[in-house]
Structure 1
Amino acid sequence: MINQLEKMIAFFSEKVGFISSFLILLLIILVAVSVILRYIFSIGFIWLQDLYIWIHAIFILLGIAFTVKNDGHVRIDLFYRSFRNRKKRIVNFLGTIFFGLPLTFLLIFNGLDYFLRSYNLNESSK
């Protein structure tokens, strides 16, 4: 049962990673279209700018899980590549504890004020 669940999660993660790789192409196209419309034709769409901000956020959030699963995060390989698997797992765990979690809490703590202010003002994308 657990092995089947693990396979389902791995399959889902692979598909999400694959889909998120196409979101970056969509993001590049939307930004290029927005720049061309704005600076060549003097036409600006706020919804288009909102759209590529949302796609960027979705790309990052979907891509994080895929990157962690495939051990693809950027690191200094000077020492890491010579470590044995056990030591690599320890370094990855400590990196998550000392860098990943504090960054997550920092983003939540700092973003909460912006969220609450926006929510109280009933701001929305149009």
Structure 2
Amino acid sequence: MARLSRGIDWLNERIGRLVAWFALAMVLVQFTFVLMSFVFGLGSLIIQESVVYLHGAMFMLGAGYTLLHDGHVRVDVFYRDASPATRAKVDIAGSFLFLVPVCVLIFIYAWPYVAQSWAVGEGSMEGSGIQGVYLLKTVVLLFCALLALQGLSQATKAWLTLKGKPPAPPETSETGV
């Protein structure tokens, strides 16, 4: 179980580090768009839409990474002062009662929506836009899978804590990214 948990953590760590670069890409693309529009009087719908794609992908694909590093909003009224065993129990209950079921539900309802988008090769409503809307919609399914997997990893680590075998802390880089 611990090995599977480490594998999930590794996956979300790598994906999170990759999509962190999307923020820089968004800034550069937006700067390029502003420069083109206001200095040269040129516009590009593809450039505008690419910011939306990068933004959506960054947040959706980075959700598992954020959970791995305990970055999601939590109501810490009781959790903050709780013992490690109580925290572990809350983490297990939260994962299995809320997080994983919600991810599964979103996945089930999104699947036909994404499949239909792939079937027709859905593109932008505008002819000059990005003709890959189906790719952006696929990110919803990846979000569900990565977040649910990380929830299972967190529950596994909590279970190991209850069994007296606390897992090693997540790997971090020297740069903090």
**TM-score normalized with structure 2 length:** 0.51
Task: Compute the RMSD of aligned alpha carbons.
Answer: 3.2
Map of 1:52 onto structure 2: 51
**Which has the higher mean CA deviation after the structures are superposed, 79-88 or 108-117?**
108-117
Greater helix content: 1
Is the alpha carbon distance of 1:122 and 1:32 closer, same or farther for their aligned partners in structure 2, counting shifts above 3 Å?
same
11-20 or 86-95, which moves further after superposition?
A: 11-20
* Deviation (angstroms), 1:43: 1.7
1:26 is aligned to 25
**Structure 2: tracts of 5 or more residues without a match:** 124-129, 132-177
Q: Distance in 1 between matches of 2:118 and 2:76?
A: 43
Gaps of 5+ in 1: none
Which position in structure 2 is the counterpart of 1:95? 94
Structure 2 distance, partners of 1:107, 1:64, is 14
Instruction: Give aligned-pair identity as a percent.
Output: 22
Which structure has more relative contact order (CA 8 Å, sep 6+)? It is: 2
1:52-94, CA deviations, whole angstroms, 9 ceiling, x for partnerless residues? 3442343234422322222222101111101111111221222
Q: CA deviation at 1:118?
A: 1.8
For the residue of structure 1 that corresponds to 2:77, the secondary structure is helix
Please name the residue that 1:114 is paired with. Answer: 113
Equivalent position of 2:126 in the other structure: none
> Is contact 1:17–1:63 with CA below 8 Å preserved after alignment?
yes
- Equivalenced residue count is 121
SS of the residue aligned with 2:22?
helix
